[in-house]
Structure 1
């Protein structure tokens, strides 16, 4: 019977299972993720080579003029040495890791999750998935408020493949797309896109793309050639939060 149970466990029947429990599921990038992993023994003893955690998100890239969604591992961790789990046994293993500072905010279509798995030789690796809500840090939070106060509405948030010249650690950038609904830029601009890239401690490089609305024949030609877009780059820190609205207004005014 023991041999039969081992054979079943190799194909996932009656095998060990895993369940991760996060102490806190709402965090901002850079915060510490803490929790425990519970491992439950199955119908036979099994050697667990390691317990691993992988932090995932998704982004969109173009392949043959089609948008394709890709899963991407933001970080991965091994949290234990090899051990053997006995039938019916329960083990609890604590873990902690810092959420990378470039973890995207879970707004719009963006999702972030932790996959917990057991690495078991010659057997199916059990896995568990836990979603994390990544909140905007103070700079991004206030930037969104500043754009709304200027007269824009946040239309879309999405992680898209980044041009090679702008890539950092990640192959994508999270874009916050705003459209003017009131105020001085209504009727003048199609949209404004903001991207925030970490640059040291409490400092972000901001990419602002201003998309002007086509006006007249020359404007239509410019739009067709994508010459109606202007890219602005500048840096912001926590100290700049009180003046973000004026910084954004001046930058948009300059290129609208």
Structure 2
């Protein structure tokens, strides 16, 4: 009787441990492992086993955590005292998640849901690497003397933005290069922004934007890939008027419509999570706005304050 009572408090209760075969995997690949389940001091009924993949975003001294996937493992069963079970685990990582970078962390949280008792949790950190085609783009930039910035991998409303700075041949002309990456059926598409020095003494900055597509076959030759990137950026630098931000956006709006993508980039790497966190941010802002509005007295309401507050133009966050 005492053992049953203590097990309900989590003392001498069943436990679970997820053992991953590898603690890192690329986007689109399958990560695998095993669940090691061990019974406690008494027989216990298990409602279910489930795993959550949680993404933690740390920026500006604040951290936000969101569940990006819930993976069912097992339904109800009974585990005897001291009994040991082993269950397999496999999960294919979505291609639209952001890759692990400074401030972007992933954790598998396994929950052993114990009927009438305290659930047992197990946490395992996992690193999500770039898909191989994107990794080859990174190598090409490195061949051109670029280095990835410490802030690279930031989540923007449309996806994950990677940022690089030149150390060699482009050092005198380029301040930095930023891009979003979209994995498509036949290749990888970059939405490229090159920030070049402009004005007297190069004290000003000009943003040049261009869409560039690399078939998967071209990614197998690192030197050829680096050469194509070099030619692309050199052309942008030499003909800046053709790739100014305004003309780029006009062009992209037209070509995106033709490709059936509209203005949405949610298929980009990091697009799913960026949209999720953006939605959470909007909820927080709206919640704060409503709470603040409700704290005003009735006189403010009579003066039409709320009509002005919610009726203005949308702001960009």
What TM-score bracket applies, with the shorter chain setting the length? 0.7 to 0.9
Q: 1:152·1:180 contact (CA, 8 Å) conserved in 2?
A: yes
Q: 2:44·2:115 contact (CA, 8 Å) conserved in 1?
A: no
Deviation for aligned residue 1:15: 1.7
The corresponding residue for 2:79 is: 85
1:206 alignment partner, one of 190, 193, 196:
190
2:42 alignment partner, one of 25, 41, 44:
44
Deviation for aligned residue 1:19: 0.4
- Which structure has more strand as a fraction of its residues? 1
The corresponding residue for 2:107 is: 113
Indicate the structure (1 or 2) with the bigger Cα radius of gyration. 2
Counterpart-to-counterpart distance in 2, 1:158 and 1:131: 21
Deviation for aligned residue 1:50: 1.1
The corresponding residue for 2:200 is: 216
Deviation for aligned residue 1:179: 0.7
The corresponding residue for 2:149 is: 155
| Structure 1 residues 156 and 13: CA distance shift in structure 2, 3 A | same
The corresponding residue for 1:69 is: 63
Deviation for aligned residue 1:147: 0.8
| Structure 1 residues 13 and 191: CA distance shift in structure 2, 3 A | same
1:247 alignment partner, one of 218, 221, 228:
228
2:161 alignment partner, one of 175, 180, 185:
175
Counterpart-to-counterpart distance in 2, 1:240 and 1:211: 26
Residues 235-244 or 136-145, more deviating: 235-244
Residues 80-89 or 21-30, more deviating: 21-30
2:96 alignment partner, one of 98, 102, 106:
102
| Structure 1 residues 218 and 158: CA distance shift in structure 2, 3 A | closer
The corresponding residue for 2:283 is: none
Counterpart-to-counterpart distance in 1, 2:66 and 2:118: 22
TM-score with structure 1 setting the length: 0.78
The corresponding residue for 1:29 is: 27
| Structure 1 residues 9 and 159: CA distance shift in structure 2, 3 A | farther
Deviation for aligned residue 1:218: 9.5
For residue 74 of structure 2, give the secondary structure of its aligned residue in structure 1.
coil
Counterpart-to-counterpart distance in 1, 2:152 and 2:70: 23
Give CA-to-partner distance per residue, 1:232-255, whole Å, 9 cap, x none: 333333213134323322332344
For residue 52 of structure 2, give the secondary structure of its aligned residue in structure 1.
strand
Query: Are 1:57 and 2:55 matched, yes or no?
Result: yes
**Structure 1 alignment gaps of length 5 or more:** 167-172
TM-score with structure 2 setting the length: 0.65
The corresponding residue for 1:193 is: 178
- Which structure has more helix as a fraction of its residues? 2
Give CA-to-partner distance per residue, 1:106-162, whole Å, 9 cap, x none: 344433332211122443321112223333333222211111121211223644332
Give CA-to-partner distance per residue, 1:186-205, whole Å, 9 cap, x none: 12222112332333x46333
Q: 1:55·1:73 contact (CA, 8 Å) conserved in 2?
A: yes
Residues 173-182 or 235-244, more deviating: 235-244
**Structure 2 alignment gaps of length 5 or more:** 238-317
Paired positions, count: 234
Counterpart-to-counterpart distance in 1, 2:79 and 2:55: 31
Counterpart-to-counterpart distance in 1, 2:203 and 2:181: 29
Q: 1:5·1:44 contact (CA, 8 Å) conserved in 2?
A: yes
